[in-house]
Structure 1
């Protein structure tokens, strides 16, 4: 057994798929179905990285790749699985979070719009301050209140959301805008949906 075997395993995409699935659960990756080429590149890259690190770890422990015994193969597989899990749960999330955080700071500092696959609502939720809740005010284009309450779930496919703790209130548009104007820039957003003809005011607190 040599590195060619590792490369053959990497070519199957399995190590990369495991990492991609775990990272997706952490909401660190979000590649749409219509971006299949991007997903293939990502899976291949993760597979190669996982296998390369696995090979280096096995080499570090002086494992004989030419030994084709079942025990040796099991040891190599066990180390490889361990490497994939450590990379996926610890190394990759830390690295990706660091990159995303700095990209976001760069974007805000230079007022640059960076293309991504997220919906507008997802971007609003992604950029909100940590450990905050979000109050939502939904108005039509005539500035009539439709609904208000705490933000619940947000769809990663369409501009759909759920509202929790709906309150029987009648906040006017002017009152909502006043709250918006009194809120820090990083803790407020307004979404305008021209198709549904609604305006959604997000206040993070």
Structure 2
């Protein structure tokens, strides 16, 4: 039981890495890859913890290592592990992932394949603070279902959004200043989402 609790505790820094990188858009998670990514970073933090614990204990044998545990060794190992994980998360992982993405896109370009990105296109659009987004939700017969200003969204699926209704004057003002537009087709729900991008600078005094 002590061993299980120890491994769980030492894996906690992996949760920090997972959420820190995803919140900064360095990695993107969805239902399919969430557990894999989380497990990967947790395993790394556990391995770092075991290495630090081994150095503090002066023991290389794993069995002997867990037979000579003390509160002080565990606490110091967790503190050092957390510091190392923070440094890896803030400095090393973003650099490695950026190098990987760059090399991948170079390889894809050589093969005449379009570039890939860490984030889905809708997240890149939604999180671009240079624009306010007006959304028109229509069926495939072009009948308007709803419209308004995009105020919140799901990072996992393009169609899960919250929009705020606008009065006619505000809507017309925004539509008069549209700089770009996109249309996303949702075949699962038989609707299409028309996005109108209005520069945020238009609303700044």
TM-score range, shorter chain: 0.5 to 0.7
1:190 to partner: Cα distance: 0.7
Query: What CA distance in whole angstroms lies between the structure 1 residues aligned with 2:106 and 2:167?
Result: 35
CA offsets per residue over residues 52-74 of structure 1, 9 Å max, x none? 55566788xx7453485543432
- Check the 8 A contact 1:140/1:199 in 2, yes or no: yes
Shift of 1:78: 1.1
Once the 2 structures are TM-superposed, how far is the Cα of residue 93 of structure 1 from its aligned partner? 4.4
Alignment of 1:140 onto 2:162: no
- Give 1:1-205 correspondences, 5 Å limit: 9=7, 13-26=11-24, 28-32=27-31, 35=32, 38-53=33-48, 63-66=56-59, 70-93=71-94, 95-96=96-97, 99=100, 112=114, 123-126=121-124, 130-133=128-131, 134-155=133-154, 156-157=156-157, 159-164=159-164, 166-168=166-168, 183=179, 188-204=181-197, 205=199
Instruction: Work out the CA distance in 1 between the residues paired with 2:182 and 2:107.
Output: 19
Gap runs ≥5 in structure 1:
none
SS, match of residue 168 in structure 2: coil
Deviation of 1:202 (Å): 1.5
Structure 1 position 46, deviation (Å)? 1.5
Structure 2 gap ranges (5+): 60-67, 200-205
Aligned-pair CA distance for 1:136: 1.9
Q: Tell me, in whole angstroms, the C-alpha distance in 2 between the residues paired with 1:105 and 1:164.
A: 41
Aligned-pair RMSD on alpha carbons? 4.7
Distance in 2 of aligned mates of 1:29 and 1:141? 30
* Structure 2 contact 101–117 (Cα < 8 Å) conserved: no
Superposition TM-score, scaled by structure 2 size: 0.57
| Residues 53, 74 of structure 2: 8 Å contact kept | no
Deviation string for 1:131-152 (max 9, x for gaps)? 3222223333343444433212
2:64 aligns with none
